[in-house]
């Protein structure tokens, strides 16, 4: 009998990890890059141990760079040995000389990052923690040579490190100083509300302060004496101290968007159109100016097209020319009206009255319209007297010169009965007014001609003493002659007077 013994075959599986070919890291980990080129020392963990080699970033023209290392978990080559981009760190070094000025630095990273200007003793930017890509900005005044250190680590997932710097422009010029000699000093601000001062420009020239500026385009870079700003959201404050010879002037300002003009240093606004708008212009009132004034012209642009303009008009003053001057009796008063020519430049009109055409007294003063756009004026004389009254205008022009208008007259009827008053006594239209000094019940007004024929009969009801009544006189309009006007009543009152129709 054969005995069969089981045979056990043991399979021994040996696992073997193949190591990368050995390499020697290059670089001494301490030298700084120069000429805007960083020297970056790479480590195979997040705490700057197990050094693998160095890389470079930046170029001779700029130290700025943005590096994502080829991917989330790939082999990143160095001058020496590669490193896997899942967990690693880099220490970048750059020795850089800065001209005296202010600079802005923006560093970003995923994960941790920090920036030093003193070789790593202190950190101006310090975001040393796991995070998605984020940036931090730092502004500092520098002058001379600095040992800059930028450190970064990646702890899994996406990775990225970025660095950028730019000189911050320092504007020159004092924004409170006024231009002179017809040359404006224009102070430019970033922001629509004079937020950040950028620098100064000039407008106008020695012979003329007028200008029309469109800033080079709707959204371009506008250069000043110091810095530049995009022409999309900005503001301007123009200043000019100007000496005006005694005379009369008018200002025209336009803008897209808001604009306003002051002649007292900005305390009050002579022109104020401070709102979003397409280009439009505004003309000031006419002003008599003499001496030195501090002009301020402000402007802002919010978006789209932009433009601001300024023009100064010097007006030639002409004598006051009265084109028409009339008087009409109405409701126990005399209404005076007059018009002057469009080229006249009145300051005021003093209305004068006389009972004899020789000796005049003042009734009141009518000021002129401030910009002379209105050429018609009115005044009412409430001190009406029966008989003939004479009126004239004592006129003062913008230069203070006095002249007189022609004299006009009006005749208020002297009634046959002192208890009745009729006006105007010379009728040229379709009506006149009558007033009794006494109460009349169930009054009837009649008009008869010189032959006693009744031409008008107008019931008037009860009339109070002093109550003016209008008489409709179209029946006698244009029929020249003298007529008797009477009021009769049920209380046996009868008053009569005369009118003349022309």
Q: Are residues 133 and 87 in the same domain?
A: yes
CA–CA separation, 293 vs 287, rounded Å?
13
Q: Note the pLDDT of residue 424.
A: 84
Q: 490: domain range? A: 420-501
Residue 248 lies in a domain: yes
Q: Are residues 330 and 245 in the same domain?
A: no
Residue 238 lies in a domain: yes
Residue 357 lies in a domain: yes
Is residue 471 over pLDDT 50? yes
* End-of-domain residue from the set 140, 166, 192: 166
Least confident segment among 177-181, 210-214, 477-481 = 477-481
- Tens-place pLDDT, residues 300-321: 999 899 999 999 998 766 678 8
Least confident segment among 86-90, 230-234, 396-400 = 396-400
CATH of the domain at 355: 2.60.40.10
Q: Note the pLDDT of residue 346.
A: 84
Q: Note the pLDDT of residue 104.
A: 93
Look over the chain and give the mean of its residue pLDDT values, rounded to a whole number.
88
Is residue 21 over pLDDT 90? no
Asked whether 495 and 417 are in contact (CB, 8 A), the reply is yes
Q: Note the pLDDT of residue 101.
A: 84
- Residue bearing the bigger pLDDT, 256 or 3: 256
Is residue 84 over pLDDT 90? yes
Q: What is the dihedral of CA 287, 289, 294, 299, to 10 degrees?
A: 20
CA–CA separation, 387 vs 435, rounded Å?
16
CA–CA separation, 43 vs 160, rounded Å?
15
Q: Note the pLDDT of residue 222.
A: 93
Q: Are residues 51 and 130 in the same domain?
A: yes
- Residue bearing the bigger pLDDT, 134 or 488: 134
CA triple 229-295-309, angle to 5 deg? 55
Is residue 415 over pLDDT 80? no
* End-of-domain residue from the set 115, 135, 166: 166
Q: Are residues 231 and 351 in the same domain?
A: no
Q: Note the pLDDT of residue 10.
A: 34
Q: Are residues 90 and 53 in the same domain?
A: yes
Q: What is the CA radius of gyration of the chain?
A: 48
Residue 294 lies in a domain: yes
Name the pLDDT band for 417 (thresholds 50, 70, 90).
low
- Tens-place pLDDT, residues 48-80: 999 999 999 999 999 999 999 999 999 999 999
Q: Are residues 224 and 275 in the same domain?
A: yes
- Residue bearing the bigger pLDDT, 206 or 412: 206
Residue 172 lies in a domain: no
Residue 46 lies in a domain: yes
Q: Note the pLDDT of residue 432.
A: 87
Q: Are residues 284 and 353 in the same domain?
A: no
- Tens-place pLDDT, residues 369-390: 655 556 789 999 887 766 788 9
Q: Note the pLDDT of residue 7.
A: 38
- Residue bearing the bigger pLDDT, 485 or 145: 145
| DSSP symbols for 430-495 | SEEEEEESS-EEEEEEEEE-TT--EEEEEEEEEE-TT-EEEEE-GGGTT--EEEEEEEE-TT--EE
Q: Are residues 78 and 50 in the same domain?
A: yes
Cα distances (Å, whole numbers) of residue 213 to 196, 262, 270, 299, 302: 21, 19, 21, 11, 16
Q: Are residues 306 and 374 in the same domain?
A: no
Asked whether 483 and 471 are in contact (CB, 8 A), the reply is no
CATH of the domain at 495: 2.60.40.1220
CATH of the domain at 242: 2.60.120.1560
Give residue 230's Cα distance to chain centre: 19
Burial 40-62 (b: 16+ CB within 10 A, else e): bbbbbebebeebbbbbebbeeee
Look at strands 426-427 and 494-501 and give their pairing. Answer: parallel
Structurally, the chain folds into a number of domains equal to: 4
Q: Note the pLDDT of residue 434.
A: 87
Residues in the chain, how many?
A: 502
* End-of-domain residue from the set 111, 134, 166: 166
Least confident segment among 78-92, 195-209, 282-296, 439-453 = 439-453
CA–CA separation, 312 vs 21, rounded Å?
84
CA triple 89-92-71, angle to 5 deg? 45
Residue 490 lies in a domain: yes
Look at strands 420-423 and 431-436 and give their pairing. Answer: antiparallel
Is residue 293 over pLDDT 60? yes
Residue 29 lies in a domain: no
- Tens-place pLDDT, residues 34-49: 999 999 999 999 999 9
Q: 30 Cβ partners below 8 Å, 6+ apart?
A: 93
Q: Are residues 250 and 290 in the same domain?
A: yes
CA–CA separation, 237 vs 194, rounded Å?
8
């Amino acid at each position: 009998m054969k005995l069969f013994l089981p045979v056990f075959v043991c399979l021994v599986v040996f696992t073997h990890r193949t190591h990368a070919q050995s390499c020697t890291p290059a670089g001494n980990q301490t030298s700084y890059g120069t000429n805007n080129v960083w020297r970056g020392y790479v480590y195979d963990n997040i705490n700057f141990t197990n050094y693998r080699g160095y890389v470079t970033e930046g170029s001779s023209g700029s130290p700025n760079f943005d590096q994502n290392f080829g991917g989330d978990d790939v082999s990143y080559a160095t001058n020496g040995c590669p490193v896997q981009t899942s967990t690693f760190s880099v220490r970048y070094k750059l020795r850089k000389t800065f001209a005296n000025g202010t600079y802005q630095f923006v560093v970003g990273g995923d994960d941790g990052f920090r920036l030093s200007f003193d070789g790593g003793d202190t950190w101006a930017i310090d975001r040393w923690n796991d995070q998605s890509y984020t940036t931090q900005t730092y502004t500092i005044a520098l002058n001379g040579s600095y040992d800059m250190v930028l450190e970064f680590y990646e702890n899994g997932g996406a990775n990225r490190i970025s660095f950028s710097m730019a000189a911050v422009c320092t504007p020159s010029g004092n924004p409170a100083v006024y231009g002179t000699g017809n040359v404006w000093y224009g102070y430019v601000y970033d922001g629509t509300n004079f937020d950040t001062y950028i620098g100064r420009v000039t407008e106008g020239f020695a012979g003329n302060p007028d200008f029309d500026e469109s800033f080079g385009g709707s959204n371009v870079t506008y250069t000043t004496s110091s810095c530049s700003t995009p022409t999309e959201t900005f503001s301007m404050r123009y200043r000019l101290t100007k000496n005006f010879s005694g005379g009369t002037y008018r200002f025209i300002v336009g803008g897209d968007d808001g604009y306003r003009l002051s002649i007292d240093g900005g305390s009050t606004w002579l022109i104020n159109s401070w709102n979003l708008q397409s280009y439009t212009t505004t003309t000031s009132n006419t002003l008599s100016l003499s001496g030195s004034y501090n002009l301020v012209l402000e402007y802002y642009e919010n978006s789209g097209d932009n433009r601001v303009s300024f023009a100064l008009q010097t007006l030639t003053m002409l004598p006051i020319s009265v084109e028409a001057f009339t008087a009409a009796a109405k409701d126990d008063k005399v209404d005076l009206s007059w018009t002057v020519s469009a080229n006249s430049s009145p300051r005021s009109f003093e209305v004068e009255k006389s009972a004899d055409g020789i000796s005049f007294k003042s009734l009141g003063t009518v000021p002129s319209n401030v910009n002379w756009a209105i050429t018609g004026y009115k005044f009412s004389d409430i001190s009406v007297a029966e008989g003939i009254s004479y009126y004239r205008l004592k006129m003062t022009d913008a230069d203070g010169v006095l002249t007189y208008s022609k004299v006009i007259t009006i005749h208020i009827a002297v009634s046959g009965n002192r208890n009745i008053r009729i006006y105007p006594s010379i009728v040229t239209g379709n009506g006149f007014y009558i007033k009794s000094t006494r109460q009349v019940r169930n009054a009837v007004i009649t008009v008869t001609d010189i032959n006693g024929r009744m031409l008008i009969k107008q019931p008037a009801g009860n009339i109070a003493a002093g109550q003016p009544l209008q008489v409709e006189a179209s029946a006698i309009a244009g029929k020249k002659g003298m007529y008797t006007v009477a009021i009769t009543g049920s209380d046996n009152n009868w008053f009569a007077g005369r009118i003349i129709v022309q």
